[in-house]
Structure 1
């Protein structure tokens, strides 16, 4: 956590405990409540205090490092399967516009954003990207692969590239298939113009489940943030909570 130095001659108001600020941020993520309506009686501090901590910790890379740490813990527990991965995206409304928004082709041209996500074989989120609602899915295929961090947790080479990649017809393009193969990944992408029933859904359904879990957080169902860094902080924090739940669930089974 970034350390804040205080002037002993002018200490000012006591700084809110980091754990209480984190609880306030999680309360907003889970409930979708506006920052100014954050209940003071719960001890979370003011909404602006929690907002500033979310901003500062995101700028310091705390959420991304926490996500990578949990992925390493999951790998150490034998819960990551890099034999295959899946990619998909989901559109959400962006009520106030801002960067990484655009006219939605599925919502009468209203402002919206897209959450692009890549998951491993069990549906654990590895990386996410937020773009405008009018961006084509296939444009984020290679950036998603490149966004997967090196995952440690065991001796030897860290994991970063799955062996196989599954995607729906939105990613159907020969140029991008060739680019995926350059990463030594075998692409399995449904082709346009063919009948449904390709069989890829047997392995691809996990990414739809991950998107459903991500949008279970009310703050991520509709984008209220104008600043894209604040929204991306919430998205990464949502992935962190999903990974932590999976790890805690297995630890509870083992005990």
Structure 2
């Protein structure tokens, strides 16, 4: 049984493969060019998707046709090249062209997950007895499609991550935004520093006030919380065991690409009719 439905896997792989460099059948540095053939990129990609979905170690998902050392080596190369970020940007462009991004409202929020192995982006978690944790800050558009993702230690406050998160969203979407953009934030961002930052960027702020019950002033920021729930459906994001910051961001943006493509398919299903229009909301 595939880890991801083919309707999600195939579109992401097509864009992923288009960004990969050409690979010879044999390694060019080998003097005789007669050693074992290189593992195809598609095989390694499917193993990485399995690791993303199940959160398993590379030794557990390795098979006879693809060893864990091959997975780690190829993953490191792809993470250094920023392939996942580029695939996510392509998915956002497709969503904007077919459905349309709702950029007038930008809900932003943080989420703390486990990082038991430590690493560049791990820190003592304030909600898990100071065990290793990872904070993920996500800015979404009005419908919940993730625009920018930033990772940091779990002990980092949400407010200092707001600027890098909005910058990451700008890098993924592009510099052209609507004239009036409102950033929706919870009470954790209720500070003068946050308002000064948003004023400097020319953005409106809808920030919950400290001391007021959340249901009274929930506003539109619940969309970002739902996006975190979607991304937490991937095991590698719930419990990150990688120590390299580039690899951590690789899995974050790969999951964001899958979330974006899933949202695109679900929205396009009810807007565009045709002979091949699916008859069920379940993705297959």
Q: Provide the TM-score with structure 1 as the length reference.
A: 0.89
- 1:151 aligns with one of 159, 162, 173: 173
Pairing 1:128-207 to 2, within 5 Å after superposition: 128-148=149-169, 149=171, 151=173, 158-159=176-177, 163-199=181-217, 201-207=218-224
Q: Encode CA deviations 1:31-77: one digit per residue, 9 max, x unaligned.
A: 11211111526x5x122212222221111111111110110000001
SS in 1 for 2:147: strand
Question: Which blocks of at least 5 consecutive residues in structure 1 are unaligned?
Answer: none
Distance (whole Å) between structure 1 residues aligned to residue 34 and residue 100 of structure 2: 46
Number of residue equivalences: 248
RMSD after superposition: 2.1
2:35 aligned partner: 12
Instruction: Report if the CA contact (8 A) 1:25-1:51 is conserved.
Output: no
Q: Provide the TM-score with structure 2 as the length reference.
A: 0.81
Q: Is 1:107 equivalent to 2:107 in the alignment? A: no
Shift of 1:161: 8.3
2:14 aligned partner: none
1:69 aligned partner: 90
1:23 aligned partner: 46
Q: Encode CA deviations 1:200-229: one digit per residue, 9 max, x unaligned.
A: x23111101100111100111112112222
Q: Encode CA deviations 1:144-191: one digit per residue, 9 max, x unaligned.
A: 111112536xxxx74488700000011111122121122221011112
Instruction: Report if the CA contact (8 A) 2:113-2:133 is conserved.
Output: yes
Distance (whole Å) between structure 2 residues aligned to residue 252 and residue 18 of structure 1: 30
2:21 aligned partner: 2
Instruction: Report if the CA contact (8 A) 1:2-1:60 is conserved.
Output: no
